[in-house]
Amino acid sequence: MRPYNFSAGPAVLPESVLRTAQQDMLDYNGTGFSVMEMSHRSDMFHSILYHAEQDLRQLLAIPSNYKVLFLQGGASAHFTQIALNFANGFKRIDSVVTGNWSGIAHSQMGKLSDVKVHLVAHGGDLYHYNDLPPASQWDISPDSAFVHYVINETVHGLQYRDIPQLGKDAPPVICDMSSEILSRRINVADFGVIYAGAQKNVGPSGATIVIIREDLLERCSERVPNVWNYQKHIEKDGMYNTPATYPIYMAGLVFRWLQTQGGVAKMEKINTLKAQTLYDAIDGSGGFYRNPIQPQARSYMNVIFTTGDKTLDERFIEQAAVRGLMFLRGYPVLGGMRASIYNAMPLAGVEALVAFMAEFQRRYG
């Protein structure tokens, strides 16, 4: 049996997807060569890209007035790219900081322009990153270019379970969904732009999904270099430069796998059960395991916990690895443990972790 991979990313992939990729490695669909060797301008790759987009549209019910791109650079590149494209002619961007990644985004968005990145809410100052500032507390200006937030913070283990609703007069919402896209149902029309690195719920690292409401493309100035200009990528059907062909192919396999699992609605039920199973084990440990996050803000994708003893935490991580429970070490800044339980992590993996937690507590509690 394969080990259970709890890495925050690059993360676990469905075994059936890996086996299909293995089968296709030397001969994709009777072509006699690998997708890795395939020209991105060939009809064969155009078919892969087309079907990946259509399957993603179906899974997320993406409206027809939204464009979809598979770009490179990871979500981190788009921290700056969204400002370059969508803040032209504006004096202010509204930014919500709720943890590590939104904090980095906040620092990066204004670096290549004169636009002011205004901090509309700071979960660290308000809640010490143990809770999330509700949208009612966000200091938003209707004149801002857009409002940016990260819906799930992988490092601090926080997630907006109730998606913030800002009202009709609010600026467009741009959201980093890297660590939760396709894990639950969302209304794409609530957002101006959604972007997400692939390496958590979609596929291997190297591709970034960007979903853009068409009217916002009018903001993409000719002053923005073409390779960073979303409009230029749209005009070239995502082929302005060589895309990450193999990660896109892998993402397409994952989209098909998700459809066979019952789609996003079914995955949401499974993910809820996995998260509740793990949080119940933490809360039911009598304080041996601790999670500092307020229950309503707990991430269903990245569960952080600790014993409160660094030496014991290290022992937990080492012994878990021996049992095939891999990559449970927390983010370096926080320490402790972190279990990332994305779509491809089966319930059996969470149950195996919970069983080990109980055994470890009996031994050291």
Residues that are catalytic: 101, 176, 200
Helix (H, G, I), strand (E, B) or coil at 64: coil
Q: Encoding tokens for residue 202?
A: 């979609």
Residue 212's closest CA among 197, 228, 227, 234?
234
Q: d(Cα 148, Cα 174) in Å, to the nearest integer?
A: 5
DSSP state of 3: P
Q: Encoding tokens for residue 131?
A: 């809770």
Residue 118's closest CA among 89, 139, 149, 90?
139
Q: d(Cα 52, Cα 70) in Å, to the nearest integer?
A: 10
**How many H helices and E strands in the chain?**
10, 13
Q: d(Cα 330, Cα 311) in Å, to the nearest integer?
A: 14
Residue 132's closest CA among 148, 151, 117, 147?
151
Beta strands at 302-305 and 337-340: parallel, antiparallel or unpaired? antiparallel
Other beta carbons less than 10 A from residue 341's beta carbon: 27
